[in-house]
Amino acid sequence: MSQPLRLGIAGLGTVGMGVVKIVQAHGDLLALRAGRPIAITAVSARDRTKNRDADLSGYAWETDPVALARRPDVDILIEVMGGENGPAKAATEAAIAAGKDIVTANKALLAHHGQALAEAAEAAGRVIRFEAAVAGGIPVIKALTEGLAGNAIRRVMGVMNGTCNYILTRMESAGLPYDHVFEEARQLGYLEADPNLDVGGIDAGHKLSLLAAIGFGTRVSFGAVELEGIGRISIDDIRRAADMGYRIKLLGVAQMTGRGLEQRMSPCLVPADSPLGQLQGGTNMVVLEGDSVGQIVLRGPGAGQGPTASAVMSDVIDIARGIRLPTFGQPATTLAEPIPAKAAAPAPFYLRMALADKPGALAKVATVLGEAGISIDRMRQYGHQDPTAPVLIVTHRTTRDAVDHALSRLPATGVVVGDPVAIRIESV
Ligand SMILES: NC(=O)C1=CN([C@@H]2O[C@H](COP(=O)(O)OP(=O)(O)OC[C@H]3O[C@@H](n4cnc5c(N)ncnc54)[C@H](O)[C@@H]3O)[C@@H](O)[C@H]2O)C=CC1
Ligand SMILES: N[C@@H](CC=O)C(=O)O
Ligand code: NA
């Protein structure tokens, strides 16, 4: 039998312990698939005394993850501590310098330092794998890097933060406001330690930037992702969007347009009967479009112990099998500097506003939209509530700039009460 492939696990939380459990439960199966035994030799975490409900006595303990990364009896560093800097970055750099391969679930680390880490690893002949970092258990990195390697990628799109999808679908199904469901999500333990990573769209933006790098052969450019979270989505919008046949999703879209690379993570309306519209709860969905293959839809668990550890182990087995791909599917030094598209491609928009009960109110709104070059596709007016009536408008394709210009001119009509809402409608 060949020599075991030796893992050093930095981080024994949800994901790290998931990896321990798989290695302990499936040793024979992993050895057969990997062609050699997979063994954990050393581990590291903040608290050695914590009860982790598993026997860790056979593994060396390192208090310092950097020391773990440098151990001669570690072939692969499994970095599952998290954080874009600090020990995750230090241990990853130490592992590369010490000639180890790396498997990480850390999208924040790669979104910020992926280019530098990939260049360093490739110069040293090492690999960095990160299937767990994007859409957890869904093998989307493998699909994009390997399965679709023969395609020019047209668009990458998806719901990549389970917490936000849980919040939005729960608001709709239970008719509860955002603040209430946000608190529920916190109590269920869904939210990251910094909840803004989830609801601010940052975590999903990290993931999108990694997919865009692979899909479009560009350097990871998280800073160029247009980000908007779900904090301003009201139960009213969810209800009204449903009336018009849509659902609201925190949707990521990356595409190469004539104007450059467009990357955005923002609340969008999608048709309620589309696969994305049907996505409920904490599940993720990634849609990949290639010029030859057409559209591929991948759906599954984007987080949780089992799914995330499953993705980590698939990377480990690939390394054991001798599969040594560049981090982002092509040599890191050949990734192009992306030119960020200054504005997103035109799209229809959903507008919601409250109109005063005055003669000619609708006509005034239509005039403002017309003057901004926006044409109306559909409109619905509801019965008067107090002195105002909610009005919904679906526009033909237009730009965000035109919409913002029109919204800025609406107060002067004297018929719009409060702030109008505008949300992009994505064709999926
Ligand atoms: N939990 C999930 O469902 C998913 C997590 N991820 C990513 O996986 C990574 C790990 O996440 P979780 O397991 O949920 O985190 P966690 O908070 O449950 O566990 C983190 C572990 O790292 C250890 N750690 C942190 N700083 C350390 C330090 N300075 N020295 C030694 N150990 C240290 C902690 O003691 C703990 O054992 C993160 O990058 C996260 O974004 C990715 C996909 C899904
Ligand atoms: N906070 C993330 C967890 C995994 O990446 C999510 O909610 O999807
Ligand atoms: Na994945």
Contact call for residues 134 and 140 (beta carbons, < 8 A):
yes
Cα separation, 32 vs 38, in Å, equals 10
pLDDT of residue 1: 62
Q: Is residue 27 within 8 Å of 37, Cβ to Cβ? A: yes
pLDDT (average), residues 6-16: 97
* pTM of this structure: 0.96
* Nearest CA among 98, 112, 154 for reference residue 294: 154
- The stretch 333-344 carries a mean pLDDT of 94
Alpha-carbon torsion (423, 241, 395, 249), positive or negative: positive
* CB contact set of 325 (below 8 Å; sequence gap of 6+): 127, 145, 146
Whether 167 contacts 181, CB under 8 Å: yes
Res. 380 pLDDT band, cuts 50 70 90? very high
Q: What is the CATH number of domain 5-133?
A: 3.40.50.720
Identify the band that residue 385 occupies on the pLDDT scale cut at 50, 70 and 90. Answer: low
pLDDT in the model for residue 193: 86
Counting ligands in written order, which one lies closest to the CA of residue 16? 1
- Which residues make Cβ contacts (< 8 Å) with residue 74, sequence separation at least 6? 6, 7, 8, 41, 42, 68, 95, 100
Query: What confidence tier does 170 reach under pLDDT thresholds 50, 70, 90?
Result: very high
Which residues belong to CATH 3.30.360.10 in the chain? 141-302
Percentage of the chain surpassing pLDDT 90?
93
**DSSP of 309-326:** HHHHHHHHHHHHTT----
The residue among 126, 127, 87 whose CA lies nearest residue 109 is 87
| CATH topology for the 349-424 domain | Alpha-Beta Plaits (3.30.70)
Instruction: Give 363's Cβ-side CA count (13 Å radius).
Output: 3
Distance 72 CA to ligand 2 centre (A): 33
Does residue 66 contact residue 91 with C-beta atoms inside 8 Å? yes
Q: Percent of the chain at pLDDT above 70?
A: 99
Element (H, E) at 379: strand 376-381
Span from the CA of 31 to the centroid of ligand 2 (angstroms): 30
Averaged pLDDT for residues 349-376: 94
Rounded CA separation 288/149 (Å): 12
- 207 catalytic per annotation: yes
Q: Name the least confident of 103-107, 211-215, 414-418.
A: 414-418
Which uninterrupted H or E stretch holds 15? Answer: helix 14-25
* Ranges for all domains in the chain classified under CATH 3.40.50.720: 5-133
User: Residue 416's pLDDT is what?
Assistant: 95
**pLDDT classification of 80: cutoffs 50, 70, 90:** very high
Whether the predicted pLDDT of 132 surpasses 80: yes
d(CA 54, CA 66): 24
Whether the CB of 45 sits within 6 Å of ligand 1: yes
Residues 6+ apart with CB under 8 A from 289: 153, 154, 155, 156, 157, 295, 296
pLDDT confidence of residue 84: 95
Residue tagged active-site, from 207, 249, 358, 364 = 207
CATH topology of domain 141-302: Dihydrodipicolinate Reductase; domain 2 (3.30.360)
**Res 190: pLDDT:** 87
With a cut of 80, say whether residue 50 has pLDDT above it.
yes
Contact 344, 54 (CB under 8 A): no
Nearest ligand to the CA atom of 300: 3
- pLDDT value at 346 more than 70: yes
Q: What is residue 338's predicted lDDT score, i.e. its pLDDT?
A: 95
What's the mean pLDDT in 98-114? Answer: 98
User: Above 80 in pLDDT, residue 74?
Assistant: yes
Average pLDDT, the chain: 96
Of residues 389, 344, 394, the one with CA closest to residue 369: 394
Q: Does residue 8 have its Cβ closer than 6 Å to ligand 1?
A: no
Indicate if the pLDDT at residue 92 is higher than 70.
yes
Q: Which of 110, 140, 160, 161 to mutate to test the pocket of ligand 2 (most atoms within 8 A of CB)?
A: 161
**What mean pLDDT do residues 389-415 have?**
96
State how far the Cα of 20 lies from the Cα of 30, in Å rounded to an integer: 13
Is the distance from the beta carbon of residue 82 to the nearest atom of ligand 1 less than 6 Å?
yes
Q: Which amino acid residue places its CA nearest to atom 21 of ligand 1?
A: 11
Pocket test for ligand 2, best of 160, 198, 305, 312 (most atoms within 8 A of CB): 198
255 in contact with ligand 1, CB cutoff 6 A: no
How far does residue 137's CA lie from ligand 3's centre (Å)? 5
Protein residue closest via CA to atom 5 of ligand 2:
303
Q: Is 1 exposed, middle or buried (0-12, 13-18, 19+ CB in 10 A)?
A: exposed
Q: Can you give the pLDDT at residue 428?
A: 87
For ligand 1, whether the C-beta of 46 sits within 6 Å is yes
CA-closest residue to ligand 1 atom 16: 13
Ligand number nearest to the C-alpha of 210: 3
Q: How confident is the model at residue 188 (pLDDT cuts 50, 70, 90)?
A: confident
d(CA 89, CA 325) in angstroms, rounded, equals 21
Strands (E), 273-368: 283-290, 294-301, 349-356
Distance (Å) from CA 286 to ligand 2 centroid = 14
Q: Which has the minimum average pLDDT: 3-12, 300-309, 347-356, 383-392?
A: 383-392
Contact 173, 278 (CB under 8 A): no
Pick from 250, 228, 251, 248: nearest CA to 239 = 248
φ/ψ of 228, rounded to 5, equals: -145, 130
Interval 370-387 mean pLDDT = 89
Q: In what order do the strands lie in the sheet with 226-227?
A: 226-227, 260-271, 246-257, 153-159, 283-290, 294-301
Is the model's pLDDT at 315 over the cut of 80?
yes
The residue whose CA is least distant from atom 29 of ligand 1 is 87
In the reported structure, the alpha carbon of residue 230 is separated from the centroid of ligand 2 by a whole-number distance in angstroms of 14
Q: Are 379 and 393 in contact (CB under 8 A)?
A: yes
The ranges of the chain annotated as CATH 3.30.70.260 are 349-424
Alpha helices for 149-224 (secondary structure H)? 162-174, 178-187, 196-199, 202-216
* 38 or 243: which leads in pLDDT: 38
Say which range, 29-38, 116-125, 207-216, 234-243, has the weakest mean pLDDT.
234-243
For ligand 2, the distance from its centroid to the CA atom of residue 341, given in whole angstroms, is 27
